[in-house]
Chains A and B, each alone.
Chain A
């Protein structure tokens, strides 16, 4: 059975801190790894990673995939209160022509003033 594990489960930091969220996976037929941010409602897409060692960046957020270690990290620098959310990691796997996403349980990040 495919498994995605995120750590830590929750985190409280002060505004301006840098945080690193972790995602590790054990899956069959890996295709890609995705990061989502979920505030009150729908998860919103952050990054998709398919190649190992290539960093993706968007403003203060960045992510990198390590296919050898079967893991990924999401970094957020100079955190702001608006970064408070649940961060979800998902791994896309292939089964024939079909694909599916397996999600981790998420890391709940709270940024305080």
Chain B
């Protein structure tokens, strides 16, 4: 089975712009979770989507949003970018039944200038 894929792998944006990141889960997986990883804060949970519905949400401002499509692919959008949004954004997929480990994609490295 192919693993979790994320596009793009690297992205450079300027303050005030918006960005959309994409995640394709492992075939058959219905849950996609998004995380932000920074050196100071570690991995922080953004949100989880399951069957096109946001099932859980972390403590991030409304500038961070996401959606999931019927084929389980997910996108994450960040509007009005700030310098502090520079981070590695990871998505993880799982079958969706609680208790299953999450499989991570390679991440998108976002740099905001």
The answer for the CA separation of A76 and B16 in the assembled complex, in Å, is 45
Cβ-neighbour of B106 out of A41, A50, A88, A105 (below 8 A) = A41
The answer for the CA separation of A90 and B98 in the assembled complex, in Å, is 14
The secondary structure that dominates the A interface is strand
> What residues on A are CB-neighbors of B42 within 8 Å?
88, 103-106
Is B98 a contact partner of A45 (Cβ separation < 8 A)? no
Is A42 a contact partner of B56 (Cβ separation < 8 A)? no
**Tier of interface size on chain A:** 20 to 34
Is B56 a contact partner of A99 (Cβ separation < 8 A)? yes
> What residues on A are CB-neighbors of B33 within 8 Å?
100-101
Is B99 a contact partner of A50 (Cβ separation < 8 A)? yes
Known: A98-B55, A101-B33, A106-B42. A45 touches B102 (CB 8 A): yes
Is B44 a contact partner of A45 (Cβ separation < 8 A)? no
B residues contacting the other copy or chain, number (CB 8 A): 22
The secondary structure that dominates the B interface is strand
CB-CB contacts below 8 Å: B1-57 with A: 4, 33, 35, 41-45, 48, 55-56
Instruction: Say yes or no: is A113 at the interface (Cβ < 8 Å to chain B).
Output: no
Is B99 a contact partner of A100 (Cβ separation < 8 A)? no
Per-residue CB contact flags for chain B residues 49-85 toward chain A (1 = under 8 Å, else 0) read: 0000001101000000000000000000000000000
Instruction: Say yes or no: is A8 at the interface (Cβ < 8 Å to chain B).
Output: no
| Chain A residues engaging chain B, CB cutoff 8 angstroms | 31-32, 34, 36, 41-45, 48, 50, 88, 90, 92, 94-95, 97-106
| Chain B residues engaging chain A, CB cutoff 8 angstroms | 4, 33, 35, 41-45, 48, 55-56, 58, 90, 98-99, 101-107
CB-CB nearest 8 A-B residue pairs: A105-B42, A98-B56, A103-B43, A42-B104, A98-B55, A41-B106, A45-B101, A100-B56
